[in-house]
Amino acid sequence: MISTDVPTAETLAIREGWNPLTRIAFRFSVCYFGLFCLLLPYIPFALLGIFGRWIREYPGPWNMALTDPVTGWVGRTVFGVDARLHQDSGAGDQTATWVLMFCILVVAVVVTAVWTAFDRSSSSPRLLAWFTLFLRLCLAGQMLGFGFAKLIPTQMPGPSLAQLLQPYGELSPASVLWLQIGSSYPYEMALGAVEVVAGLLLFVPRTAVLGAVVSLASMAQVLLTNMTFDIPEKLLSAHLLLISLVLLAPHLGRLADVFVRQRSCAPLKTASLFTDDRKNRLALWIVVAIGFSVAFGSGYDRWVVWQEQYGPNRPKSALYGIWEVRDFTVDGQPLPPLTTDENRWHRLVFDAPEQATYQRMNGELIPARADFRPDGQLELTAVVDAPGEKAGHQPPFATLSTEQPATDQLVLRGNVHDRPVVITLERIDLNSFTLRSRGFHWIQDYPYFR
């Protein structure tokens, strides 16, 4: 019996198959980006949504460098470097990560070669559908995570009080970028809104292509800033950009028809996840539910961080402010404000509840831990930079009583480095810093670059 059914676009695609280069590129992408998304814990972790915040509170394999044995051996054997992942670092461009990318690349090349040698099928439309969904979810989770971190401006907070005193020339390029964006919350929030919109669009099949386009543009901007300001997230931003391109690859011809050739294009018909329409509808609602969960989880997590660490109602030191030293007496002798004096302080800064920074006369800023004891004594302890050590393990270098004759006046009496001191300070008006007080102006007859 001869069938009179009209072949669907999906059937035609299966019959026509892919050219050899497309098959190889697809198989390599499945291997490489599949391993990349699965082996970097924060990518699948982002899809846990609201549950991710609770899980992070408990120790487990998600807090361990599971790939350390492999990357450590490859680093020592192939590159002669220590490729141990530093858990106390937030950098994404660590040696261990670069070695891991090398390992993933080698595995992907080998698996692609074996796959191509033994699998003679001309196309894999069903696998393409599942792989596309996998990449959409992984990219969407990252876009929402990074987006909400800017939309609720916690990724790049405004300058701390101590940073207001730091000379511009002493800042690293990364700090310049962070403080530049953090100094304008509306700008940071606009960047985050673009990333959030991109992430939400990726969860819906009809808007996924638009989401990939917005993600591509956003990640191109992020990669550019990471490269030019030496931000240690070049690998991640580059891979998110490549994932956007992989998602857009089947649509590039049609996008060119619309935006370049100025002509209409037919919609791209791709294979569905299941042959059963009911299962496809259920899968759609599950994906949308995951999107809501990830969006709510990312937003809630950043909102808590904002309230606890960066917002106007965050906990602050009891002596919050920048205090200018007016008089500094050691052993009963007043010290004149000489820039060569290594004992006298210029300023003392209190910001977060347990943080302090004192500025020497030469301008050097020294962070310290500030403990306000129940008896009213203030203890200052040096901050130790060595990994694994805590400032609390150090004896305090200063024990001082605090007196406030007036709201903006402070007197400290006690010992600094085992020498008796009396320090008189006056609180600086924070609006005296142009960065905090300049504000926005519609009309400017002359540019203001002071």
Count other Cβ atoms within 10 Å, centred on residue 416: 20
Check residue 65 and give its pLDDT.
67
Is residue 10 over pLDDT 50?
Answer: no
Q: What is the mean pLDDT of the chain?
A: 90
Burial of 381 (0-12, 13-18, 19+ CB in 10 A): buried
Whole-number Å distance between alpha carbons of 193 and 185: 12
In this predicted model, what pLDDT tens digit does every residue of 80-113 receive, in sequence order?
Answer: 999 988 887 888 899 999 999 999 999 999 999 9
**Residue type present at position 360:** R
Contacts of 289 (CB under 8 A, 6+ apart): none
Q: Are 34 and 134 in contact (CB under 8 A)?
A: yes
**Residue type present at position 316:** K
Whole-number Å distance between alpha carbons of 41 and 49: 14
In this predicted model, what pLDDT tens digit does every residue of 39-73 receive, in sequence order?
Answer: 988 898 888 887 776 766 655 445 556 788 999 99
Is residue 433 over pLDDT 50?
Answer: yes
Q: Where are the domains of the chain?
A: 9-310, 321-435
Task: Give me the sign of the Cα torsion angle 160, 161, 162, 165.
Answer: positive
Query: Bridge-partner residues for 372, per DSSP?
Result: 378
Whole-number Å distance between alpha carbons of 445 and 151: 32
Is residue 5 over pLDDT 60?
Answer: no
Buried-state track 266-293, b at ≥16 Cβ within 10 A, e below 16: eeeebbbbeeeeeeeeebeeebeebbeb
Question: Can you tell me which residue has the tokens 């205090």?
Answer: 323
47-to-9, 33, 163, 424 alpha-carbon distances in Å: 32, 16, 35, 53
29-to-21, 108, 171, 176, 443 alpha-carbon distances in Å: 12, 8, 39, 36, 52
22-to-17, 191, 211, 269 alpha-carbon distances in Å: 10, 35, 23, 17
Whole-number Å distance between alpha carbons of 413 and 335: 15
Q: Pick from 334, 381, 329: which is nearest to 358 by CA?
A: 381
Q: Are 294 and 287 in contact (CB under 8 A)?
A: no
Check residue 15 and give its pLDDT.
45
In this predicted model, what pLDDT tens digit does every residue of 203-237 receive, in sequence order?
Answer: 999 999 999 999 999 999 999 999 999 999 999 99
Name the more confident of 283 and 2: 283
> Is 1.25.60.10 the CATH number for 321-435?
no
Q: Pick from 212, 193, 195, 216: which is nearest to 204 by CA?
A: 212
Q: Are 291 and 140 in contact (CB under 8 A)?
A: yes
Query: Bridge-partner residues for 181, per DSSP?
Result: none
Q: Are strands 365-372 and 345-350 parallel, antiparallel or unpaired?
A: unpaired
Count other Cβ atoms within 10 Å, centred on residue 96: 23
Q: Which two tokens stand for residue 201?
A: 């669009």
Q: What is the dihedral of CA 194, 195, 199, 205, to 10 degrees?
A: 40
pTM: 0.89
Contacts of 199 (CB under 8 A, 6+ apart): 139, 140, 141, 142, 143, 144, 147, 211, 215, 291, 294, 295
Q: What is the dihedral of CA 52, 57, 62, 65, to 10 degrees?
A: 140
304-to-144, 184, 208, 300, 435 alpha-carbon distances in Å: 16, 21, 30, 6, 26
The secondary structure element, H or E, covering residue 365 is strand 365-372
Name the more confident of 266 and 195: 195
Check residue 385 and give its pLDDT.
66
| SS3 at position 395 | coil
- Through-space distance between the first and last CA atoms of the chain, rounded to whole angstroms: 86
Confidence category of residue 450, pLDDT binned at 50, 70, 90: confident
The stretch 299-313 carries a mean pLDDT of 93
φ, ψ of residue 352 to 5 degrees: the values are: -70, 160
